[in-house]
Amino acid sequence: MDGTSGALYAIFLHALASGLQAAAPPTPQPATPRVWAAALSAALASLAKYTPAQPGDRTVVDALVPFVATLGETLHLPSAVEAARKGCESTKGMAASLGRSVYVSAEGWDSCPDPGAYGLVKLLEGFQGFQ
């Protein structure tokens, strides 16, 4: 996992922190799944200002978009992580149109998922342990 992932994570996490502050109730209390879902949606919208990546481009976005959408619909972290995993798996054999994978020959790597999408899934799987 390399390339612009660090910058994308920084933009997304900064926007997520802002989104959590905006979605949180006025009195301090633990963030609910609904608050997280709203903040994640806001962060995804903010990220879209800085990258043209969309699902189908073989990037981290292939896992991120289904994660955010599913959490917003279900408010269930395991379902959202599974959606991210499926998005990641969908990148196997996909021609890259953005990211570092564009510069790497697909030969021998077309059976592997996009590294950025895979890395995000591993991060999200780790968050499940904190429930």
Each of the 131 residues of the chain gets a pLDDT tens digit; together they read 556 778 888 999 999 999 999 888 888 888 889 999 999 999 999 999 999 889 998 989 999 999 999 999 999 999 999 999 999 999 998 776 666 665 566 566 678 898 889 999 999 999 887 76
Q: How many domains does the chain have?
A: 1
pTM metric for this prediction: 0.88
How far apart (Å, rounded) are the C-alpha atoms in residues 127 and 51? 25
Whether the CB-CB separation of 99 and 109 falls below 8 Å is answered with: no
The number of angstroms, rounded, from the C-alpha of 47 to the middle of its chain's C-alpha atoms is: 10
Domain that includes residue 83, residue range: 5-128
> What does the DSSP assignment read for 45-99?
HHHTTT----TTSSSTHHHHHHHHHHHHHH--HHHHHHHHHHHHHTTTTPPP-SS
How far apart (Å, rounded) are the C-alpha atoms in residues 42 and 48? 10
CATH number at residue 119: 1.25.40.340
Joined together, the tokens standing for residue 45 give: 């919208």
